[in-house]
Structure 1
Amino acid sequence: MSPSSTSPLPPAPSFQRNLVVPSTKMTLDRTNNSCTNDMLLAMPKPQFKSTHSTPLLPIRPYSQPERSHSHTTRSVSAEPTRKQEQLSASSFSKIRLLGKGDVGKVYLVKQKDNGNLYALKVLSKKEMIRRNKIKRAYAEQTILASVNHPFIVPLYHSFQSKNYLYLAMEFCAGGEFFRALQRRPGRVLMENDARFYAAEMVAALEYLHLCGIVFRDLKPENILLHESGHLMLSDFDLSIQSPSAGAPSIVRTNLPFSRPMLDTKSCANLRTNSFVGTEEYLAPEVIRGDGHSSTVDWWALGIFIYEMLYGFTPFKGTSRDETFDLIITQSLDFPDYSNNVYYSGPSSTARSLIRKLLHKDETKRIGSKAGASEVKSHAFFKPINFALLRNMKPPIIPAKSKNAIDAVNFKHVKESFSFDLQKSLAAPPSPPATDDDEDPFADFGSAILHHDIVESP
């Protein structure tokens, strides 16, 4: 029976997330190192730790909604055609405001010549300079322009004007996954549903780690619900990329009849002392300032699964300092359903995975040795065929209105000031900066990512 029939769950703490201001120690690799499927297949030959191996299959990203029987490949245009050169902010018309942050806003826009919908992130240069967030904009553009995965939101275009930076990404009609969770009875999912969504995030993190990228801010607010019901990871401004990703290796487990596993831990070969993330999802090593690696993503996955199953995060305090103290010192507890005759709570297998993900010693945390393969091999994911995950029917299909551009799954957001987006969009692109200009955004190049149609067999 669903949790909606149970006695009330423990009261959930406030769902206002507090974003920790990133340290200025964060470094950024601005080289445009693509991490497409072709590059993954062209990586140096793995160092095999056994005589058995399995081929790496290319990842098949989402098709566009109107092309339900095809998939796409993406490439960055280094030499745009004349038509592509004309594509600028003025090529779009505003429909509505989807969300806003401290340095910018996200609008639902329509491309005038073909009617395609995009989520256009508009970032204020003035605010980014004032808040010292220039590197974050570069990080997001660089990473989004290089990745290609069905569970990561695609970037289609990026450009700039005199006062703003623009990132045109896929519009996910389901909105934030956080809002979808809030609408569920008890703010929880049944275990099978939570397993499905956790598996999609494991697949996304595995791919990012293969590319040498540590996400560092996994939470429901940074996950979008595609109109198909699948999840897409978004908001890469706190992510960091290793200057040179290592080559993956293939290892075998000691279990009989087990398939070889791909070791992704060595790919994201970096360690940083940056203090970034969202407080309820921060790993202990980040708070202590010990430096952190890709294992922080597995800690955040544990918090994410816990929140899907119980409706709140496990270490939330009444203040930021108390939350940090609980993360470091408090043992992991689970709500007691022993007296509930209608619902026994999540399984012991689910609790086992959460405990392993939320191990306070990062060297003993699941995923710290061989990366995603360790996590995927846990018994909790035994019902999941990761190779067919994209073809499975998702538990939640976003509501659709008669007007497809109504964005019914987004909360109504009011403009904080009068902002004529169309006037801003009509502004010409910024001219190339000279040495005297000292333009901090000079390297924020325009990118056009092609989605070539390849018919499925």
Structure 2
Amino acid sequence: MVANRLLLKAREGGYGKRSSRSKKWKEMLKLPPVSKCSELRHSIEKDYSSLCDKQPIGRLLFRQFCETKPDLNRCIEFLDAVVCACQVRATGKMYACKKLEKKRIKKRKGEAMALNEKRILEKVHSRFVVSLSYTYETRDALCLVLTIMNGGDLKFHIYNLGNPGFDEHRAVFYAAELCCGLDDLQRERIVYRDLKPENILLDDRGHIRISDLGLAAEIPEGETIRGRVGTVGYMAPEVINNENYTFSPDWWGLGCLIYEMIQGHSPFRKFKEKVKREEIDRRVKKDNEEYSEKFSEDAKSICKMLLTKNPEQRLGCKGGGAAEVKQHPVFKDINFKRLEANMLDPPFCPDPHAVYCKDVLDIGRFSIVKGVYLDTRDEEFYATFVTGCVSIPWQNEIIESNCFKDLNDSGTEEDFADDLEETSCPPIQKPKRGFLYWLLKRLGCLSSIPSEKKEELRRR
């Protein structure tokens, strides 16, 4: 109870409630001037899609550019400097921290898996997949700082809040968001391979995100992969048989999830049923799932099409990918354009005063790893893993926490113009401006004064 109360108290002290920022805070978070970013500015490709679409601060600046119409060259110069200035700074935003114990990684020879998860999280920027914001290390662990998801996981919601399962409307909404998440992953040539309720998390509003990408893999264009990885009862037949595949296991996993959300247990094992792994694998490869009256005809249809044993005949694997899954009649009431734009309200909104897990203290509890010793050879791996912040999530944090607005308001057009001059001209001694000039500027009176009078005021 104490741990849960502390969590709720921390959650209520949101980063967006600060009405003002101190001078010391602004100095700590201050972005470097454009003149200090010349090397970075020249190394960045001047590409519209990257600077003005993919980069969050770039999108914001481009909107401001369209509204105020400043000089385009100055806007791009400023954009380069801000996008480059991705250094870790405290803004007060809450995150989730995933700790990978160093000794456990070494004992299980999991260095490649840890680096793989970090690399994929850095590559994928989707509203339906958790985002990696920072990485750092402690004496005992490597830490991934991720999107905080206060609503708990789907397994807790399916089995611990009333009767097992959801009504079909809620299950279809989550399935639609999962389609979007898988679509974003597959666009980056990534197969997830571990779709199950424990790995699907809810945020404060009730939207879902895919988490735990440790088993995900990148598939080169035109190639296939093999690997018997995943969770028992959710692995597709081709994975169990160790056959080659591309993205088919994820569409099978989506079928398992839709079935479980509606029925209240997985397709090939009833809730709390004790059965050996070999028997579950046999059921997956040979048996057909059973449907109760909880399923509408459309829900039954999509589950059967996604749980087709032959991957070549499975929905989503016939050449259309996510697009053919989205066209299924079960999604007839889902506007995917509005869903992807975050314009649809979820069917369930988590209570901000509730903790959606059995016990906060259970999170991240591990047994002590004995007999494993860390040495200097491990440092190379740690240095590769711990690389600080990730640009796009950091930019989103700066915008969402109003830091960008505060920092942007603290400068002036004249300061920025002076800074740009420094990038192209040798430093010159600028004349000091008198008190009268400063006072008139503050009162907004300089716009009506002729330029020759302004020069006279500067000298005074």
TM-score range, shorter chain: 0.5 to 0.7
User: What SS does the aligned partner of 1:136 have?
Assistant: helix
1:393 to 342, 345, 348: 345
- Structure richer in strand, relative to its length: 1
Alpha-carbon distance in structure 2 between the residues aligned to 1:59 and 1:290: 39
Against the structure 1 CA distance between its residues 209 and 235, is the aligned structure 2 distance closer, same or farther, given a 3 Å change threshold? same
**Which residue number corresponds to residue 152 of structure 2?**
175
Please tell me the residue identity of whatever aligns with 1:358. Answer: L
2:324 to 350, 363, 374: 374
Rg bigger for which structure?
2
2:211 to 234, 246, 249: 234
1:451 to 375, 378, 395: 395
Please tell me the residue identity of whatever aligns with 1:383. Answer: D
Alpha-carbon distance in structure 1 between the residues aligned to 2:324 and 2:149: 30
Q: Is the 8 A contact 2:111 2:381 kept in 1?
A: yes
Alpha-carbon distance in structure 1 between the residues aligned to 2:49 and 2:242: 36
Alpha-carbon distance in structure 1 between the residues aligned to 2:352 and 2:159: 18
Against the structure 1 CA distance between its residues 196 and 441, is the aligned structure 2 distance closer, same or farther, given a 3 Å change threshold? same
User: What SS does the aligned partner of 1:208 have?
Assistant: helix
User: What SS does the aligned partner of 2:280 have?
Assistant: helix
Pair 1:294-2:247 in alignment:
yes
User: What SS does the aligned partner of 1:115 have?
Assistant: coil
1:159 to 133, 136, 143: 136
Alpha-carbon distance in structure 2 between the residues aligned to 1:277 and 1:59: 33
Please tell me the residue identity of whatever aligns with 1:142. Answer: R
Q: What is the Cα deviation at residue 411 of structure 1?
A: 2.3
Q: What is the Cα deviation at residue 371 of structure 1?
A: 0.7
Q: Is the 8 A contact 1:123 1:165 kept in 2?
A: yes
Please tell me the residue identity of whatever aligns with 1:394. Answer: P
2:277 to 313, 320, 343: 320
Q: Is the 8 A contact 1:160 1:446 kept in 2?
A: no
Please tell me the residue identity of whatever aligns with 1:274. Answer: G
Q: Is the 8 A contact 1:118 1:168 kept in 2?
A: yes
Q: What is the Cα deviation at residue 183 of structure 1?
A: 3.2
User: What SS does the aligned partner of 1:235 have?
Assistant: coil
**Which residue number corresponds to residue 113 of structure 2?**
136
Alpha-carbon distance in structure 1 between the residues aligned to 2:83 and 2:168: 46
Alpha-carbon distance in structure 2 between the residues aligned to 1:140 and 1:303: 23
Q: Deviations over 1:254-293 (max 9, x none)?
A: xxxxxxxxxxxxxxx4422211101111000111111222
- Structure with the greater relative contact order (CA < 8 A, sep ≥ 6): 1 or 2? 1
Q: Is the 8 A contact 2:142 2:386 kept in 1?
A: no
Alpha-carbon distance in structure 2 between the residues aligned to 1:399 and 1:149: 25
Q: Deviations over 1:389-428 (max 9, x none)?
A: 1211111111122xxxxx7123213475799xxxxxxxxx
Consecutive unaligned residues of structure 1, counting only runs of 5 or more, are 1-37, 43-56, 62-74, 88-112, 247-268, 338-344, 402-406, 420-429
TM value normalised by structure 2: 0.62
Q: Is the 8 A contact 2:179 2:322 kept in 1?
A: yes
User: What SS does the aligned partner of 2:384 have?
Assistant: coil
Against the structure 1 CA distance between its residues 58 and 359, is the aligned structure 2 distance closer, same or farther, given a 3 Å change threshold? farther
TM value normalised by structure 1: 0.62
Q: Deviations over 1:200-251 (max 9, x none)?
A: 00000001000111011111100110001100111000000124xx4xxxxx
2:96 to 89, 107, 119: 119
Please tell me the residue identity of whatever aligns with 2:144. Answer: L
Query: What is the number of residues matched between the two proteins?
Result: 312
Q: Is the 8 A contact 2:55 2:83 kept in 1?
A: no
Against the structure 1 CA distance between its residues 393 and 40, is the aligned structure 2 distance closer, same or farther, given a 3 Å change threshold? farther
Residues 70-109 of structure 1 correspond to what in structure 2 (within 5 A)?
Answer: 84=88
Q: Is the 8 A contact 1:283 1:300 kept in 2?
A: yes
Q: Is the 8 A contact 1:59 1:149 kept in 2?
A: no
**Which residue number corresponds to residue 127 of structure 2?**
150
Task: Tell me the C-alpha RMSD between the 2 structures.
Answer: 3.2
**Which residue number corresponds to residue 420 of structure 2?**
none
**Which residue number corresponds to residue 91 of structure 1?**
none
Q: Deviations over 1:411-454 (max 9, x none)?
A: 213475799xxxxxxxxxx99x7xx7773444214131322439
